[in-house]
Amino acid sequence: MAGAVIVEGDFDAVPEIARAQERTLVLGQVVFDHLGTVEDFATLFPETATRFLSVNGQRMPTIGCVRARCSAGVCCTPVTRTPSSLDSKATALHAIAYDGIALPRVDRQETMVMAPGQRADVLVQASAPGAYVLAGLPYDSGYPSPTGPMARVVVEGAPQR
């Protein structure tokens, strides 16, 4: 079982953030054995077990944003670190808080590494309406991490100024 805890307050007075459409994304890894059976965390599984990445419990969901800027509260529930990117040539990731603690300034990033149980508040700014891919990137945890597309983000409408 996985979920997100939403804490509001710190950024409610910032107009650009208050106007942004919010999306909550819970990144996870689903572990399964050689028979294709999904394992639960009560089962002892090796770190090298096959995994796939999920967003809000789904494999490759489509997430819609109405304007070319939206915010995402991202929580991570995998058992390993998961670096991710969102078509960095066409979008910008702006971290504004980690684990509910506001950053002193906006931190623009090409990619983000999310640790198990970590939370990040991120403003996502697309350069234009269109479809973008949120992808898991390789990470050396001593064994191969799952990689590849996690979700399709569709941005519609005129950019918010």
Tell me the per-residue pLDDT of 8-38, one tens digit each, with 9 for 90 and over. 667 777 777 777 778 888 888 777 766 777 7
Residues 6+ apart with CB under 8 A from 76: 26, 27, 28, 82, 114, 115, 116, 117, 118, 119
Interval 117-160: pLDDT, tens: 888 888 887 777 888 888 888 877 776 677 888 888 888 877 65
Interval 58-110: pLDDT, tens: 889 998 876 655 666 665 554 455 666 776 556 778 888 888 888 888 888 88
Phi-psi region of 15 (alpha: psi -120 to 50; beta: other; left: phi over 0): alpha
State residue 124's pLDDT score: 80
State residue 79's pLDDT score: 45
Residues for the chain: how many in total? Answer: 161
More confident residue, 132 or 50: 132
Residues 6+ apart with CB under 8 A from 123: 16, 17, 20, 69, 70, 71, 72, 93, 94, 96, 106
Q: Judge if pTM exceeds 0.85.
A: no
State residue 61's pLDDT score: 92
